[in-house]
Structures are given as C-alpha cells and as structure tokens.
Amino acid sequence: MSKIKQIFMKQTDLFSVLIVLFWLKTYVAYLIEFELGVTGWLQHVILLINPLGLGIILFSVALFSKNKKRRTWILMGILLAATLLLYSNILYYREFTDFLTMNILVGSNNVSGALIASTIAMMRPWDVLYWIDVIVFLALMYKVKKGQSLIGSRLDISRKAAGTLLLGILMLVGNLLLAEISRPQLLTRTFDRNYIVKYLGINFFTGYDVYQTAKNSHIKASADESHLEEIVSYAKANRAEPNPQYFGMAEGRNVIVIAMESIQQFLIDYELEDENGETHEVMPFVNSLYNSEESFSFSNFYHQTGQGKSSDAEILTETSLYGLPQGSAFQTLGSSNTFHATPGILKSKANYTSAAFHGNVGSFWNRSDTYRQFGYDYFFDAAFYDLSGDRALEYGLKDKLFFRDSVEYLEQLPQPFYTKFLTVTHHFPYPLDDQNSGFPIAQTDDSTVNDFFATANYADEAMEEFFTYLKKTGLYENSIFVMYGDHYGISNMRNPHVAPLIGKDPEEWGEFQNAEMQKVPFILHIPGMDEGEVFDMPSGQIDVLPTLLHLLGIETDDYLFMGQDLLSPGHDSSVPLRNGRVITTDYTFISDRIYDNQTGEELSEQFTEAERLELLAERDRARMEMNHSDRLMSMDLLRFYQPESLTQLEPLDYTYSNQMDILQNHPEKHTSVIEKNDGHSTLELYETDAPEIREKMDYIYRPKPGLMERIRN
C-alpha cells in the first residue's frame, strides 16, 4: 500500500481531508461564483471561516454511528448532499443571481423543461472540481476490502466524535459572534440572502430558510376562509368613496413611481446655510413639483415602515397592507404569499405593462421573488446595469447613472406602463465621492447629518435630469408621477443634531419631535392639471394605492385594502405607525401619552379619565387596522379571496431573464417609445452632468460579465 493510500486509510485522516476539501471548494465558490459584496478584512475573515463550523458539525454526525460500514455511508451521504446543495446554488445563481430557497424547490414540480435546459446550459467544464472530493471518496469506497471502514472502528472513533462536534460548535459560535460584530441583528433584520451566505455560509442559510419556511407554513396551514370574515367586513366599512371631481383624472396614463430613498418631509423647501452664511436650496426640483398647480402634495404624510424599511414601503404603497411587526415581509413571506398588488391589478383592469428598476441585486430585500408574486412583468436589477469602477456606491448604481441607464429598457416598454424606480444614492451613511461633491455640507458635530443634505441634493438633480428626458420624449405629458419618501433618513438618535438646523432646541427634543420626523414627502404630479393643492390632513403610505387607482378611474370595491383614497371627502385622518404610535388630526398618541399636534405639549393629565379613555379607544381603533393586515399577511389569507376582475397570477411565469428579447418581440411593441421614434434609441436625448460619463454621449452600455450570454440563452 502506498504512503498516500496509508494516509487516506488512517481512521481520522480521511475525515479531516474531506473537511478541508469541502471547505476549500466552498470558499472558492464564494469567491468566483457568488457576488457577496465582501469588503474589509473582517468580512474576508468571516467568509474564510464560515464554511467550517456548520460543516464540521454536519460531517461529525457520521462519527457517532455504531456500525463501521454505516459510518462510511453516512459520511458519503452527508458529503453528497452538501455538495449537491452547493452546486445547485451555483447553477441557480449563474442564471438568477440569487440563492435557492425552499419555496423555489417546492415549486420545482411546476417548472417547465425550458428551465431544466437552461440549468444544463449554466454548467461549465471546471465544475468537475466541485465534485472532486465526492469522486475521491467513491473511489476509495470501491477500493477498500468488504466490510472495512474508511474512518476506523467505533472504539477508535467514538473518542474523537464528541471532540469534533464540540470543535464545530465552538467555530460556529465564533462565526456568529464575528457576524454580529460586523452586521448587528443579522437574523432579525434579514433583508438580503447574500448577507446570510456571506456571514454564515450556504449551509446555514439553507437551514435558516427551512426554519422560516416551516414556521410560515405552520401559520398558514392553520388558516382557512373563516379567518377572512372580520377582515372583509372591516375593509368594506373602511373604504372611502372616490371624489367624483378627481376620479379618472389620469385614466389611461403611464404611471411612473419614484421611491425617494430616505427623503424626509423637512427637506421640502429647506435651505441649508453654509459656513459663510449663504443659503442653498437642498431639493429645488422636488420642491417645484411639490408646490406645483399640477400636483397633489401632502405635508403631513407619514412613512409606516418597520424593520423592512424600503421593502415595507413597497408593501404599503403597492398592496395597501402593512409590513410585519418584526422582520421584512418581503424576506419572510414574499416568495410564497398571494398579493393583490398594483402591477397585477393594472394588468387585469387596463392591460398595463409593468417594470421595476433597481440598481442593486435582485436578492436585496428578496425583491426578485416578491416582484413575481406582485405580478411585475419585468425587473431590471443590477445584472442589467454596469456597476463597475466608480459608477456605484455601497447600495448600488448612483442615481444619475441609474436613471440614464434605465432608458435603454424604459423606451422598450409597451404603453400604458406602470414603472417603479428605486433610488439608492441618498442612503445611510450618505457617502458621496469627491467627483460628485460640491453641495455644502451641514455644520454639526455629526458627520452623517452633515452629509445627508449633499446626497439629497444629488438625488434631486438626478430626478430633474430624468424628468427633462421624459419631456423630450413626450412621456411626461402622458404620465402620472407618484413620488414618496420611503422612510426616515435621520434616526431618532441623531435627530437632536438636526434640531438647530430646522429651528428647534435640542434641549427640548423628545418623543413627540421624533414622531414628527417620521413625515416623508408624497407627491402626485399630473401634467396638465391645474387643480393642484397641498393637503395638510394626516395620511400615510397605506393610502397610496387606493388614491392612485381612483385617479386612474379604477374602482377598488373588490379589494381588501387597509388604506383609503386621500382625495376622498370620507378619508379617515388617523395614521397608525408600525411602532404603535398613532397620529390624528389633533393628537399624537405615544404609548398611553397624548400630545397636542400644534404645540407638542403632553395633554394626558388635562383630560378627565372618561375623555382620556375615549381618546385611547380612538387610538386602538386605528391600531386595529394593522392587526387585520398582519393576519392577512401572516396567514396568507388573500389566497382565499380572488376578486372576479383580477387575473390569477402564475409567479413561476416571471423569471426576469431574456427580458430584452421578450420586449423586442412583444405584440404591443408598436406602442413603445423606441418604436414611436422609428426604432431609434432615445438615449441621445438624455442629458446628464454625471462625471462618470467623461465626455458627452461617449458612453456605451457595457453589461456586467455574463449578462449578454444570459440574455441570449
């Protein structure tokens, strides 16, 4: 027997070699197959060690078997299953830039042969390296004498099993601690599958996904149609009749939604004073829309998001339901729940084409899966943009480049269309490189607050460039624009640093002022209208969808919306926030305390007990809206409620690959902007001062490596 074979035949050497081989191939896959966004030495260390902890634990299971032959087969089974899991994710990621979930696997029996063929096309010659340890182990199993164990006798192994398991547990705990240091609350605020894989590994992600799926399935399994009765009654009673003056005002128009990342209401009409005492309007373009006679704007409009942040804002504005009390609804429920969302409704009611645009990966907040459930026809994520070099910041493509590069896809969409653009540059911690700087920074002792205004100004300029392009193409006049701030940008901890900038005393800052800072802008801009107004009644993101549908001339009687039409005379101006606070026309409720909205003074002691209880009952009625929504979401009750006018979706039909081919062969292609421009791109009409484009019109679209191959396939 050769020396190499002797090493392999030793009772524990083979076990150790298999662990090392599996660790190495997993780490290699992390580096060359997955785009995990690893930055900094700590994240690199975590990525290096994360396959080991859970890997050792899984493989050590074989060491506890009493039967020596069974030990070999158990080890082989674990190795084969772990390798198959890794390789399946590699193939899936090559096609969809995402990781496999239980919902995808469970639904695989409905997947057509086309997807199987596509999977085979994703295979590469070097993939055999991912199976080399399996091949080696199988060869050794074939070579050894009958009945011989590859990992020693029980007497030899049993002494090592507990120690091996303990080592794996210690490494896993260490991995978890390092992950918590680098990314606090990783599992409670899960918003990107990439993050879990990057910090805890592909095996951990799969286990976590199985747990979450089982948890959600248990909740859903207990539900039936009877759970809908109370919610249906509430939704019907809660509905506000549309205002006939505005109903159908924007009928047949394109809808362009812009989710303004981290833009807060106090930025509207705000002028920042620089160190020389000169003032600078932070968002002059957005201000012009907000104050326009062609806009309905809302000065007391609140974000109602929770831990899901931007994704919660999308749930709220596109389904008129709330996010979850903990975690992200997109992440935990978005892959499997039934939704009655704007894209599906507009397609069923008025044959709208829908598309979402986002300069970050589709797995961020689980958007790819959730958009399928929403019924989006197209989703252009980071795979369809060039994010190389200085074109992107931490959260994706810079806004000026994002809007400009989206034109290539926007001009192909059949009209009427419903589109959503998710901006990212104005995102915490508000970095902006030197080539894009120029707007003054604020003069406080908090660098995050200081930079907040400069990135807001950059976002404002990006939107103005986009609108200028839309006017040149004729899209502007035939569209309605929905613009909203998705959530707060400055946290409660930093609010006192903002106080002097907005004329407040930091020493008098308290919970009421924090509640006021949850206001975000909401603008409905309708070119050609002259009935614009700035409304001051309390309102929230939950009200966006019914308001939009009524403006488009679409009735909402059939839907279970928690919000109301903001332009209806019957609108109820009670706004529950996800943290339990409630704002009404006169009062703000924070726990059991009641504040006057005009003065900010606490009034709790000024009411009789009966008056106080009556006001608190009003607060509780507003909160009940969230309870109904939470039951709808967690139990997936909309699967039992199918309006006759709404076409039932088949989410697996939406793969978001080959999108350009589909658009170029669309039967309604003649209605697109590019066809109305005699087949010529309108990109040359787009003007931007983005320094990343060095000379005017010298930019040639360069897709990320592998994109064109994916499109051709």
Q: Pick the residue with more confidence: 123 or 245?
A: 245
pLDDT bin (cut points 50, 70, 90) of residue 698 is very low
Dist CA 695 CA 372 (whole Å): 38
- The reported pLDDT for the residue numbered 702 is 43
For residue 103, the model assigns a pLDDT of 61
The mean per-residue pLDDT over the stretch 456-480 comes to 98
Per residue in 516-539, is it b (16+ CB within 10 Å) or e — as a string?
Answer: bbbbbbbbbbbbebeebeebeebb
The pLDDT value given to residue 18? 83
- Bond before 429 cis per omega within 30 degrees: yes
Do residues 307 and 189 lie in contact, with contact meaning Cβ atoms separated by under 8 Å?
Answer: yes
Angle between helices 68-96 and 154-182 (to 10 degrees): 30
pLDDT digits (tens, 9 = 90+) for 405-449: 999 999 999 999 999 999 999 998 899 899 998 999 999 999 889
Nearest Cα neighbor of 401 from 366, 378, 433 is: 433
Top pLDDT among 469 and 697 is at 469
Find out whether 261 is annotated in a ligand binding site.
yes
Cα distance between residue 654 and residue 614, in whole Å = 49
User: What percent of the chain has pLDDT above 90?
Assistant: 55
Are 480 and 262 in contact, with CB atoms under 8 Å apart?
A: no
The pLDDT, as a whole number, for residue 106 is 55
Instruction: Name the pLDDT band for 703 (thresholds 50, 70, 90).
Output: very low
Q: Are strands 479-485 and 254-260 parallel, antiparallel or unpaired?
A: parallel
Tell me the one-letter amino acid at 259: A
Q: Give the pLDDT mean for 89-94.
A: 80
- pLDDT band per the 50, 70, 90 thresholds, residue 491: confident
Q: What is the pLDDT of residue 73?
A: 85
294-329 residue pLDDT tens = 999 999 999 999 878 899 999 999 999 999 877 788
With a cut of 70, say whether residue 158 has pLDDT above it.
no
Count of CB atoms situated within 10 Å of the CB of 271: 11
**DSSP states of 587-605 as a string?**
EEEETTEEEETTT--B-GG
Distance from the Cα of residue 704 to its chain's centroid:
21
Share of the chain above pLDDT 70, in %: 89
At residue 74, the 3 state secondary structure works out as helix
pTM value is 0.76
Of the CA atoms within 13 Å of residue 479, those in its CB half-sphere come to 21
Please tell me the CATH superfamily of domain 243-540+553-568, with its number.
Alkaline Phosphatase, subunit A (3.40.720.10)
DSSP of 581-644 = -EE-SSEEEETTEEEETTT--B-GGGS-HHHHHHHHHHHHHHHHHHHHHHHHHHTTGGGG---T
Mind listing the pLDDT tens digit for each residue in 529-555?
999 999 999 999 999 999 999 999 999
Domain with CATH 3.40.720.10 in the chain: 243-540+553-568
Active site residue ranges: 310
Find, among 37, 32, 137, the residue nearest to 83 by Cα. Answer: 137
Q: Are 656 and 707 in contact (CB under 8 A)?
A: no
pLDDT at 168: 87
Residues in the chain: 713
Contact 540, 304 (CB under 8 A): yes
Has residue 213 got a pLDDT over 90? no
571 labelled binding-site residue: no
Tell me 151's DSSP state: T
Chain segment 226-248, per-residue pLDDT in tens:
999 999 999 999 999 999 999 99
> Residue 261 and residue 281: Cα distance in Å, rounded?
19
Residue 682 and residue 675 in contact, taking contact as beta carbons nearer than 8 Å? no
Task: Quick: pLDDT tens for 628-679.
Answer: 999 999 999 999 999 988 888 787 677 888 899 999 899 999 999 999 999 9
Write down the pLDDT at residue 108: 43
The mean pLDDT of 359-381, rounded to a whole number, is 93
| Least confidently predicted of 110-124, 354-368, 628-642 | 110-124
DSSP E strands in 230-352: the ranges are: 254-260, 271-273, 279-281, 295-298, 301-302
Where do we find the tokens 């084409």?
353
| 386 labelled binding-site residue | no
* pLDDT tens by residue, 280-301: 999 999 999 999 999 999 999 9
- Do β-strands 539-540 and 301-302 pair in parallel, antiparallel, or remain unpaired? parallel
| Helix, strand, coil in percent for the chain, rounding step 5 | 50, 10, 40
Can you give the pLDDT at residue 143?
Answer: 66
Residue 380 in this model has a pLDDT that exceeds 90? yes
Tens-digit pLDDT profile for residues 513-530: 999 999 999 999 999 999
The DSSP code sequence of 107-145 is: GGGG--HHHHHHHHHT--GGGGGGGHHHHHHHHHHHHSP
Confidence of residue 349 (pLDDT cuts 50, 70, 90): very high
The pLDDT tens digits for 421-431 are 999 999 988 99
Mean residue pLDDT across the chain? 87
pLDDT band of 611, cuts 50, 70, 90: very high
